[in-house]
Structure 1
Amino acid sequence: MHGHTPPNALNFNGTNNFVTFPYSPAFDLVDGTIEFWMRPNWTPGSNGQNPCVLGYRNGFAATRFSVHVEDNLSGIGIWNDISYQVRPFAFVQGTWYHIAVVESGSSATCYVNGVSIGATANGFNTALSNAPLTISWSNDPLYPNEYFRGEIDEVRIWNTVRTSAEINANLNSEINLPQTGLVAYYRFNQGVAGGNNAAFNTLNDLASCNIGTLNNFTLSGNTSN
């Protein structure tokens, strides 16, 4: 049984809130692991499209990877510009979950709260480079409703294939630095939860210098902050 009570997390309104990161060669993953905590908070089926948690993408036909939650909260979806594949899982609106996507070769094994829910047959699309990284937006005008509604916390991007034991060892805590293979780490601990955070319009990277820009957030109160 896993729980998550973050000191801070970033709330996304599901309409136009997103974080962007300029291109970095560090995100040109061949194999690697993407981890994050999320609390999806939308009525199942209300978006019409599958919200994107994190993506390396520049339009529909230019995607290295993007990680989605199914609109009806029924699984994790992986898009790599070649195919969109889903691993089923019954998420509950308003509940925190730890997600890890371990991509190795032509497969992506998905973990929920440290337990594997199986693998898709689509890994990173290594043919694509020089695209921005985004959180809570797919960066694709063909899919304008893929904004994530809810909270996101503790995003970690590794250029190594993490084992189940490694994922579970660090699942419920912040990690000490430095860590071999950790190319980006976002704790979302800036500012005060629910307070006036107008002074904080960037997202710090504790592993390197891949700093993100917050877009369209009110940065005050319990939502869009």
Structure 2
Amino acid sequence: DGKSYLYVNGTLWASQKEGAQDNNPETPVLLGALQEKGNPMDFFDGIIDEVRIWSVARTQDELRMAMHLSLTGSEDGLSGYWPFDECGGERAKDRKAGHDGIVHGGEWVHSHVALASYKDSFGCVDTMC
């Protein structure tokens, strides 16, 4: 439908109509803040465990079914994957395309989100926790 969608924890949080987004792959993406006149402001006060950007349309059900599965970075349609599992430093590694991010003022915390190792042939998730 030409829209971009933002899902948070498997729930639709925002959408944007066609043409409103910048499709230039060289344009930096800012996560956890607004940008005004080139300066970040209104910083997010919370925890961001991981970020996945897909270049293909995915349904809400597909996102919910896969949100606890670990990714390798080689999935079809995956454009960017930042699991934020570095546990320190100023870089957030992109496991898909090498578009590492810079962390400004964030505090690294150990993730307590249960991730599954794989989905079996019956579609059931085998969690490691």
TM-score relative to the length of structure 1 = 0.40
Determine whether 1:203 maps to 2:83.
no
2:81–2:96 Cα contact (<8 Å) kept: yes
2:34–2:41 Cα contact (<8 Å) kept: no
Q: Give the match for residue 185 of structure 1.
A: 81
Residue type at the aligned position of 1:202? R
Q: 1:201 to 1:141 in 2, by over 3 A?
A: same
Q: 1:145 to 1:205 in 2, by over 3 A?
A: closer
Using CA pairs under 8 Å that are at least 6 residues apart, name the structure with larger relative contact order, 1 or 2: 1
- Structure 1 alignment gaps of length 5 or more: 1-103, 192-196
1:203–1:213 Cα contact (<8 Å) kept: yes
Q: 1:160 to 1:128 in 2, by over 3 A?
A: closer
Q: Give the match for residue 122 of structure 1.
A: 17
Determine whether 1:165 maps to 2:61.
yes
Shift of 1:115: 4.9
Kindly indicate which of the two structures has a greater share of residues assigned to strand: 1
Determine whether 1:138 maps to 2:27.
no
1:119-156, Cα deviation, whole Å (9 max, x unpaired): 75624525663532111122214996521111101200
- Structure 2 alignment gaps of length 5 or more: 111-129
Partner SS, residue 165 of structure 1 = helix
Identity of aligned residues (%): 24
> Could you tell me how far apart the structure 2 residues matched to 1:184 and 1:123 are?
20
Aligned-CA RMSD value: 3.2
